[in-house]
Amino acid sequence: MSSLLFQPYAIGRLQLPNRIVIAPMCQYSALDGNATDWHLMHVGQMALSGAGLFVIEATAVEPEGRISAADLGLWNDDNEAALRRVLAATHAHSDMPIAIQLAHAGRKASVARPWEGGAQIAPSAGGWQTVAPSPVPHAAHEHPPQALDADGLRRVRSAFVEAARRAARLGIDAIEVHGAHGYLLHQFLSPLANARTDGYGGSLENRLRFPLEVFDAVREAFPHERPVGMRISASDWVDGGWDVEQSVVLAQALKARGADFIHVSSGGVSTAQQIPAVPGYQVGFAERIRAAVGLPTIAVGLITEAEQAESILAAGQADLIGVARAMLYDPRWPWHAAARLGAQMKVAPQYLRCAPREVSRLFG
């Protein structure tokens, strides 16, 4: 029987050659939001990996929405031109579909890069004022965010729209709206971060409102034939927080609005989270949402082995497999997965002679 992992799959009208998705991975290597030569190398090697889809890292829709000052952005013409250079070079040598994750970090913005400690940088120390649903900091010692008022909500929504239009001009194949990992849209969803008393807080319906408004605006701004989906954290891993049953309600609302896929992650909104980081620890969330909603579902989270990925698909727990850190460790992960599963893999002609004799027949 042929491998499910290497069967083609369609997200809306976007045809993927296989079911491996390179999940977004922040590189913290941009200058004023502009992609650099690092991105040229990084995107280039990912695009030659043989995966079915590459999702560009969390890309801020406004400067205040960056996680760090070195985050990629898509809020102005310079950002667009810099990313265009990277994409042009990549497309010259790879036909891999490329998506982008549009994001706003909210109260988790203005931090140092991970290898510089990752701590929040307060405005008085050279950072910037963060924004959020409520003036509740992510950690108690951090500088509190400003609660977004009506004008702020409109500004952020408009920033997502403008970034979506720029992505369309760049020829991006799909958009993933970032609603996970404790960033702004997740902050609206979670009662742990959202203490509002207006129409955007309190009840589940109210907490869904702003993320759904952003999704609707992005969907309207991006060409209808190209997919738009959302990445979510299915659980806060904290009692009284966002959970998988609320995630089902969100996914149902997204499906009704024309979402093409849902990418199921977890955690990130609270320092009190208790995450059992074992292989496939988030797959059950993907399975629950897929069964209840029927949207094409991407499972991600410590999926590192080809057989593990294949078993998830065979069990009907997800439709696609997201691989992130394992791809950084082994940028030829799809090649090695194909060899393990006996599947054929399209490889750039410059690399055709590199395979060991016993698996060279797998290179189509």
Which residues are known to be catalytic? Answer: 183
Contact 267, 233 (CB under 8 A): yes
Cα 67 to its chain centre, rounded Å, is 14
Whether residue 191 contacts residue 200, with contact meaning beta carbons closer than 8 Å, is answered with: no
Query: Where does residue 137 rank: exposed (0-12), middle (13-18), buried (19+ CB within 10 A)?
Result: middle
How far apart CA 9 and CA 217 sit, in angstroms, is 26
Instruction: Answer for the pair 105, 183: CB distance below 8 angstroms, yes or no.
Output: yes
Beta bridge partners of 263: 231, 298
Q: Nearest-CA neighbor of 47 among 218, 173, 164, 165?
A: 173
What's the CA gap between 211 and 346, in Å, rounded?
38
Pick from 23, 2, 55, 10: nearest CA to 319: 10
Residues 278-304 as b/e (b if ≥16 CB within 10 A, e otherwise) read eebbbbbbbbbbbeebebbbbbbbbbe
In terms of DSSP bridges, do strands 14-16 and 228-233 run parallel, antiparallel, or are they unpaired? unpaired
Residue 25 has phi, psi (to 5 degrees) of -135, 115
Nearest to 179 by CA among 158, 160, 151, 206: 160
CA-based nearest residue to 147, from 103, 187, 98: 187
H or E element: which one contains 131? Answer: strand 131-132
Q: Are 54 and 339 in contact (CB under 8 A)?
A: no
Cα separation, 344 vs 118, in Å, equals: 41
